[in-house]
Amino acid sequence: MQAARPFSPRPYLAAFRARFQLMLQYRTAALMGFATQCWWGAIRIMVFAAFYGVNAAAAPISLADAVTYVWLGQALLALLPWIADPEIGQAVRTGGVGYDRLRPLDAYGYWYARTLGWMLARAVPRAALMLLAAGIVLPLLGLGDWAWRPPSGLEAALLFVPAFVLMTALGVAVMMLANIVVAASLNERGVNAVLTPLVVVFSGSLLPLDFYPDALRPYLHLQPFAGLVDIPFRIYFADLKGAAALQGLALQAGWTLVLVALGRLAMERMMRRLEMQGG
Amino acid sequence: MPQIIVEALAKTYRVAERAPGLAGALRGLVRRRWREVHALAGVSFSLEAGELLAFIGPNGAGKSTTVKILSGILRPTSGRVEVDGLVPWEDRVRHVARIGVVFGQRSQLWWDLPVIDGFDLLADIYRVEPAHYRRRRDELVAMLRLEPLLDQPVRQLSLGQRMRAEFAAALLHDPSILFLDEPTIGLDAPSKLAVREFVRRLNREQGVTVLLTTHDMHDVEALAERVIVIGHGRVLTDAPFEVLRAGVFTERRLYVDFAGPPPDLEMEGVAVRARGERSLELAFDPAKIPTPKLIAAIAAKHAVEDVHVDEPPIEEVIARFYELHDAREA
Amino acid sequence: MNALALYGRYVATSLRAQAQYPAATLMLTAGHFAATAIEFLGVFALFNRFGAVGGWSLGEAALFYALVNIMFAIADLLTRGFDVFGTDFVRTGAFDRILLRPRSTVLQLIGHEVRLSRLGRLLQAFAVLVLATSLVPIAWDAATVAIAVWAVAGGVALFAGLLVLQATLAFWTVESLEIMNVLTYGGVQAAQYPLNIYAAWFRKVLTFGVPLACVAYYPVVAILKRPDPLGAPDWLLPLTPLAGFAFLALALLAWRAGMARYSSTGS
């Protein structure tokens, strides 16, 4: 296989930076994406408000928390792995996947860094803008009831940091699996067709998981996608606290490790298959 | 009455500036800067029906802009254009029905469709009468030897094959004018020859007016009597090619093959342009040293195997012309 | 060949190309079905947990949901060329080729591609329609069917108009087009619930700004044969889809302005 090389982070950092910079150039896209998401958030909140207005007692979390959940979701939407990295799809179409074998790098790590750069570049500007709009401007306009509230207490704030890191790591791990399937099957659209509904529903992006019928609750809380949205957000407004929060973090971490391990295995097998086929 | 009239054509663009690097990218999020680009700064010429004109110039000179304006896609900043009595950008539908356009390396045919299906669809789009279409199509297929390609999807064709199909596609509706924008770019030698031969026949036998832009000087040599050189958005010369050449170089080239390594030649009025293992390329002015005298002088002193006289290579003529007019790449 | 016949040719060509890959087309359709059906999952979950909202039961809400999805799905099928206009035509310069053909640009763009997979949304909408019919129950007679078809027509015109506007934006910048999703997909998101559940200011936007209410709310109220909870007179309800057509007409005017700009600035 490959000769052992001293590990250097430079190529991975370079990949991250290159992608990050490229995405920043699309400034109008960032602004427009932000405006779109404001709207999405607003519609979701209006729907919640209508239902809460009828029968608030039936809800598993308060309206204020539901509102915060929605804004958090919009702010961090770019971190949700609802499609495979489009650059991989592009590489598949142009036949460039094989080139990665020629680089003296760990392929999984390289792709991971690239995808992470892509996700964060899209997330950071929008999250910052969303924080400004939903977190600061709304309360200033007297619409504090519909605002993105800060974490509920010090414990929640502190626990949210690892939850956020883990949700990002998990998101990239999920996307990596999708990327590998796309590269191996050469079928980007097919992979996205399966991935999107799965992730949107089971992460809690469509609705917080507790809104689904109660009978499903135990299963919904344990599956891997819960760590993408539902768990970290509920930690944020202390719906998950103390031991339950730590369990949530453990679930996120556990699934991340599992998916990364699976991903590395799948990557190795795919690369080996490419070698045998001659790329 | 000329078929194509261009008068004082001018076109100016505004282009956004982007600073490099991460800092520049972030700054670009906040403020943008613009600069003006004068693509065309007063171009005038006219073309009679049945003429073949080559449009040459360095990159960024304004060739493609002129073709786009003439085909009606682009509106000029000022100036007058008339093609067959119509103003191209004002009468788009009527105008484009009468012209054919071929862009080098870009095909107008549908990527996934077999060539023949693409032709049929074009016939419907251009409202070509069915019997007339079939005749024209068969004629073009024969001229361009497309028979074996007709059932293949366009994406499976090589570039040379695609360009041949492209020519047919552009002519199915019998336009009287053909605009060719770098038609031989990227083609292999046999394909280039085929394209040139086809265009020549089209122009000479069928009287199609052709305006051709190109970087390939052999296209010019093979096809054009009349050449317009564009530089920095202006016409630098509008003349038969021989006149252009004479204005740039009065010299000729003598190619000599020697029996052994070429000698160090020191002769007045003779410059060594290139040296091979057993050959020399010499530049000289036949007005100062007549050709037979030069050959005799060299053969008298050295063992000469072969000689060959020619004009300077056409690329050199053009490059020198650009230099003289300070028209290098914009 | 006249415009309608040419459109038929374009559609036939597009369908034939997709028929070459039946498995992929089927899979994409199933995928689109799933991606759109999860929205109804959300509607259902909320009704299941909270009970009725805005005075409508789940079955009645399902009718609102179904019709707006039907009209969007049809518009989606028609306007692919406009949807990808920025990336596939302006950015690549392929629009030049469209301009070089002696046909209306609108005709060429609606003929550009008809994606069978978008039937996925249409199918799930019909499924929900069947559900609504059985839950309410809805008695489909000549009058209600007529209103439904008329509403869908107006809705198709409205969404098509939005997509034409989106493509028109591409003449100015190829990068800001995501914003229109606010109105197209966002419109579906908003109108999949009966619009009277929203606050007054939002309802006004959806009636007089982007007249979604005129195609996706008032006609449906008429079909359900209920008096409008917002108090609009009964005779007005079936006329409202006209607004969708007016919107499309305005969008096409903007399109022409955009084309004039393109011919000045080039690609």
What does the pLDDT look like over C184-230, one tens digit per residue? 999 999 999 999 999 888 899 898 888 999 999 999 998 998 888 87
As a whole number of angstroms, the distance between CA B123 and CA B145 comes to 20
Q: Does A40 touch chain C (CB under 8 A)?
A: yes
Contact C100 B101 (CB under 8 A): yes
Q: Rounded CA gap, B68 and B70, in Å? A: 5
Supply the pLDDT for residue C129. 96
- Tell me the residue type at B47: L
**Residue matched to tokens 């020619």:** B310
Element (H, E) at C145: helix C142-169
Chain B contact partners (≥3 CB pairs within 8 A): A, C
Q: Which amino acid is located at B180 in the chain?
A: L
Interval B262-272: pLDDT, tens:
888 888 888 88
Does residue C129 contact residue C41 with C-beta atoms inside 8 Å?
A: no
For residue B188, pLDDT over 60 is answered with: yes
Q: Is A236 helix (H, G, I), strand (E, B) or coil?
A: helix
A110 touches chain C (CB under 8 A): no
Mean pLDDT of B46-72: 91
Best CA proximity match to C79, nearest among C212, C251, C231: C251
Residues of A in contact with C188 (CB under 8 A): none
Is B179 in a helix, a strand, or coil? strand
Confidence of residue B316 (pLDDT cuts 50, 70, 90): confident
Question: What count of Cα atoms within 13 Å lies in the side-chain half-sphere of residue B220?
Answer: 24
Q: Which domain holds residue A168?
A: 10-277
A31 touches chain C (CB under 8 A): yes
Give the nearest partner residue to A55 out of C24, C42, C50, using CB atoms.
C50
Strand partners, B38: B12
Q: Which residues does chain B have within 8 Å of residue C12's beta carbon, measured at their own beta carbons?
A: none
Residue A201 within any structural domain of the chain:
yes
For chain B, domain boundaries:
49-246, 250-310
Residue A43 and residue B204: Cα distance in Å, rounded?
67
- C99–B72 CB contact, under 8 Å: yes
What's the rounded Cα separation, in Å, for the pair C260 and C219? 37
Rounded CA gap, B198 and B168, in Å? 10
Q: What is the CATH number of domain B250-310?
A: 3.30.70
Q: Which residues of B touch A17 (CB under 8 A)?
A: 22
Q: What is the pLDDT of residue C130?
A: 96
Which helix (H) or strand (E) is B234 found in, with range? strand B234-240
Instruction: Note down the domain range covering C165.
Output: 3-265
| Cβ neighbours for A72, distance < 8 A, ≥ 6 positions apart | A148, A233, A236
pLDDT for C216 equals 92
Query: Closest by alpha carbon to B218, among B309, B317, B145?
Result: B317
pLDDT value for B22: 61
Q: Which residues of A, range 210-269, sit inside 8 Å of C by Cβ?
A: 211-213
C32, C118 contact by CB (below 8 A): yes
Give the Cα separation of B275 and A14 in Å (integer).
47
Provide the pLDDT for residue A24: 63
Low pLDDT (below 70) residues in chain A: 1-6, 23-29, 97-104, 276-279
**Cβ contacts of B18 on chain A, cutoff 8 Å:** 25
pLDDT at B27: 64
For chain C, the chains sharing at least 3 beta-carbon pairs closer than 8 angstroms are A, B
Quote the percentage of chain B above a pLDDT of 90.
50
Domain assignment present for residue A157? The answer is: yes
Which positions 15-44 of A are in contact with B (Cβ < 8 Å)? 17, 21, 24-25, 27, 30
Residue identified by tokens 């009828």 is: A54
- Kindly identify which residue of chain C lies nearest to residue B112, measuring between CA atoms: C17
A47–C46 CB contact, under 8 Å:
yes
- Number of C-beta neighbours around residue C87 at 10 A: 13
Contact across the interface for A17 and B26, Cβ inside 8 Å:
no
Q: Considering the domain boundaries, does residue A48 fall inside one?
A: yes
Proportion of chain A in helix, strand, coil states, percent, rounded to 5: 80, 0, 20
- Say how many domains are in chain C: 1
| Cβ atoms of A233 and A73 closer than 8 Å | yes
User: ipTM score of the complex?
Assistant: 0.87
Q: In chain C, which stretches have pLDDT less than 70?
A: 175-176, 267
Give CA angle at B173 (B208, B137), nearest 5°: 95
CA distance B115 to B147: 10
Query: 3-state DSSP call for residue C92?
Result: coil
Helix (H, G, I), strand (E, B) or coil at A112: helix
B249: burial class by Cβ within 10 Å (0-12, 13-18, 19+)?
A: middle
Total domains in chain A come to 1
One-letter amino acid at C182 equals V
How many residue pairs bridge chain A and chain B with CB atoms within 8 Å of each other?
A: 14
The CATH number corresponding to B49-246 among 3.40.640.10, 3.90.960.10, 3.40.50.300, 3.30.1330.100 equals 3.40.50.300
Nearest CA in chain C to A207: C42
The more confidently predicted of residues C34 and B232 is C34
Residue-wise DSSP of B299-330: HHHS-EEEEEEEPPPHHHHHHHHHHHTT----
Locate C43 and state its tokens: 């509607």
- A213 CB neighbours in chain C (<8 A) are 45, 48-49
Place of tokens 């020519």: B167
The rounded distance, in Å, linking the Cα atoms of A235 and A165 is 13
